[in-house]
Amino acid sequence: MLAYDADLELFRDNFKRFMSENIAPHYEQWEEDGLIPRQLWNQLGENGFLCVDVPEEYGGYGAPIHYSLMLVQETAQAGFTSLAVAIGGQNELVSPYIQNLGSEEQKQYWLPKMVTGEVVTAIAMTEANAGSDLQAIRTQAILNQDHYLVDGSKTFISNGIHADLIVLVAKTNPEARAKGISLLLVDAALEGVEKGRSLKKIGLHAQDTAELFFDQVKVPKNQRLGEEGQGFAYLMQELPRERLSISMMALGSILGAIELTSDYVQQRKAFGQPLSHMQNTRFVLANTQIKAKAAQAFVDQCAEQYSRDALSVSHVAALKCFITDTQCDVIDQLLQLFGGYGYMQEYPISRFFVDARVQKIYGGTNEIMKEIVAREMLGK
């Protein structure tokens, strides 16, 4: 475990109180609506829960990374996974890209607005024919004097409906593969940017996941993020933070589901005794707790390495693969202890179950994670 930090625990308590007052009473309705309300972003910002690791000169707290990761874990642990994905998208994906790659002008303009919740962000990588194979993207951004002309479409974009700013992965040189990819900061208000339908998913119902379309969008040249043609290298550089965030979500979900099930089996009776007195129940819960402890240790190790810039791509790939497989396995076993009630939507364990499945897919599929680990062991 990381060393005890009194400020972190105070921050954690404040956030848990915020969730119980502002999220818990409404979350079920948001899941039914298929959308988290836009005003929640402003509330999160007003209370200091967005982009907390952004330096003070850009409106943030300059807090250590684990303060930011804690927010994702606690949100998932409370069973609000759709919100965890949304917050993770802003705090753990887009914010580091702008902090690490942005020009001074870009940082001064965008970061303070992200901290307050005035601007919601999304990163647009995936296309209908390019998921794990990012080099195959077709969205183009062709330089024309002082602007890029952008054409193409993206799909499965988290925060896509509410996004005010889109970090767009596009081909600035369509002839090249990886070397032709660049990153652009696209203001969603620009002419030619269109948000498609909110996609219906088997889980994460309140998470706005959308298609995005770009038709002759003029993006000013000064809104390119970093160097032209370096986009693929930047993605590889920043993916460890995303995978660490996904892993924190997985850990939170594991711990939240164990807590929920422990309470349930002590109250629920079968054959004249609480379920918690039956050996199978006790062994299942013990087994999930053992896996949770292993997951916690692995996450803590990777978070500590990340804070020292020492987290390798293959190590975090191993973490992401291990912990999301564990998450799906553990929650499946725990749901079984609820019997038929576990299959009912009114029981929160069912939401933990459906929300877990995508964790093995986004942020790089677990098959890709295994290939990354294998390459380190065996070469290409």
Which residues are marked as active site?
Answer: 242
| Sign of the alpha-carbon dihedral angle for 11, 14, 20, 24 | negative
For residue 217, list its beta bridge partners.
Answer: 150
Q: What b/e string do you get for 193-213 counting C-beta neighbours within 10 Å, with b at 16 or more? A: bebeebbebebbbbbbbbbbb
For residue 245, list its beta bridge partners.
Answer: none
Closest to 167 measured CA to CA, from 224, 209, 214: 224
User: Which of 293-299's residues contact partners 24+ apart within 8 Å by CB, and which partners?
Assistant: 294/326, 295/250, 295/251, 295/254, 295/322, 295/323, 295/326, 296/1, 296/251, 298/247, 298/322, 298/323, 299/244, 299/247, 299/248, 299/251, 299/323
Question: What's the token pair of residue 139?
Answer: 């969205």
Q: How do the residues of the chain divide into helix, strand and coil, expressed in percent and rounded to 5?
A: 55, 15, 25
Q: What b/e string do you get for 147-156 counting C-beta neighbours within 10 Å, with b at 16 or more? A: bbebbbbbbb
DSSP letters along 339-365, please?
GGGGGSTTSHHHHHHHHHGGGGTTTS-
| Burial tier of 371 (Cβ tally within 10 Å: 0-12, 13-18, 19+) | middle
CA distances from 108 to 55, 57, 62, 88, 283 (A): 11, 8, 15, 21, 54
Neighbours of 242 (CB within 10 A): 22
